[in-house]
Amino acid sequence: MSAGGAAIVAAVVVFLLRPSGEIALPPEMTTMPSASPPGKALGALICTLEPDRSRITISSTAEARLDWGADGCADRNVQFLEGEDGWQRILVPDDEQTVTVARFDPVTRRYTQTRYLLPAATMEAIRKLRQPATPRACTRDDAALQRLQSEQAQIRQQLPPLPNEKLVYSCRST
């Protein structure tokens, strides 16, 4: 009987000393120590995929390069538009059946691509929405930015509610 009593006492002690059920996660870092103001140039960046924050189906997991200039100019010829979630641009390549919504937050240096794999008919309709007057260049001209914003809004209306992929990158200076 004393072995049974010792087992009961041990069970009570283990129960009372068990860890709590709450999970303590480290606080997410919201700003980088060397963060730059949103409108400033950061220069060449290497962006590393964060697999635990991404949904990858067919895209490469290799590092991405981004050359971030002042006022939302990326790679010296892609104008991003400033919005609530940082800078954003919808990319519609001629040689792929995808539309990519690219977002970059210069403060946290987080680069996100949500990719939509679309049927040929939808891609053709979206490609027709692109305005030939919108040059593939960076600009601060208000009229050109308004045209780009209108074009991007029209393209966004053609996209399904959920993307096929979401690639989240953490960027650092080269």
Q: Are the C-beta atoms of residues 160 and 99 closer than 8 Å to each other?
A: no
* Share of residues in the chain with pLDDT > 90 (%): 55
pLDDT at position 54: 95
pLDDT at position 30: 45
Lowest mean pLDDT among 38-42, 115-119, 148-152: 38-42
Cα separation of 170 and 50, whole Å? 7
Query: Does residue 88 lie in a domain region?
Result: yes
Query: Does residue 23 lie in a domain region?
Result: no
Is the pLDDT confidence value at 35 over 90?
no
Q: What is the mean pLDDT of residues 18-33?
A: 55
Query: Does residue 154 lie in a domain region?
Result: yes
| Domain count of the fold of the chain | 1
Indicate left, alpha or beta for 173 from its phi (over 0: left) and psi (-120 to 50: alpha). Answer: beta
Is the pLDDT confidence value at 42 over 60?
yes
pLDDT at position 23: 54
Query: Does residue 71 lie in a domain region?
Result: yes
In which domain, by residue range, is 142 found?
A: 39-173
Cα separation of 75 and 101, whole Å? 16
Query: Does residue 132 lie in a domain region?
Result: yes
pLDDT digit string (tens) for 50-109? 999 999 998 999 999 999 998 899 999 999 999 887 899 999 988 889 999 999 999 999
Q: Are the C-beta atoms of residues 103 and 85 closer than 8 Å to each other?
A: yes
Query: Does residue 28 lie in a domain region?
Result: no
Selection from 78, 82, 101, 109 nearest residue 158 by Cα: 101
Strand partners, 33: none
Mean pLDDT of the chain, nearest integer? 85
Confidence class of residue 139 from pLDDT cuts 50, 70 and 90?
A: confident
Beta strands (DSSP E) in 60-162 are 64-68, 73-74, 78-79, 81-83, 86-91, 98-105, 110-117
Query: Does residue 163 lie in a domain region?
Result: yes
Query: Does residue 5 lie in a domain region?
Result: no
pLDDT at position 137: 81
